[in-house]
Structure 1
Amino acid sequence: MKYLLIFLVVLVIFIISVTLGAHNDQVITFNYLLAQGQFSISTLLASLFGVGFLLGWAICGLFWLRVRVSLANAQRKVKRMQAQIEQGSTTVTTTSSSAARE
Structure 2
Amino acid sequence: MKTIVISILVLSLFILALAFGSQNQQLIEINYFVATDEFNLSSLLALTFLGGFICSWVIAFLIVIRLKLKLKFVTNKLEKLHAAEISEQA
Place the TM-score, normalised by the shorter chain, in its bin.
0.7 to 0.9
* Unaligned runs of at least 5 residues, structure 1: 91-102
**Structure 1 CA distance for aligned equivalents of residues 34 and 6 of structure 2:** 35
Bigger radius of gyration: 1
Q: Could you say which structure has the greater relative contact order, defined with CA pairs below 8 angstroms and 6 or more residues apart? A: 2
Deviations 1:35-88 (A, max 9, x none): 542100121011111101100001101110110011000000011001101110
Q: TM-score, normalised by structure 2?
A: 0.87
Point out 4+ residue stretches in structure 1 off by more than 4 angstroms.
Answer: 32-35
1:6-54 CA-partner distances (Å, limit 9, x unpaired): 1232022112211122101111112456654210012101111110110
Give 1:45-84 correspondences, 5 Å limit: 45-84=45-84
> How many pairs were matched up?
90
Q: Distance in 2 between matches of 1:15 and 1:68?
A: 33
- The 1-side partners of 2:70 and 2:25 are apart by 49
Query: Matched residues in 2 for 1:16 and 1:25: separation?
Result: 16
- 1:22/1:2 CA distance change after superposition, 3 Å: same
CA RMSD of aligned residues (A): 1.7
Amino acid at match of 1:21: G
AA partner of residue 68 (structure 1)? K
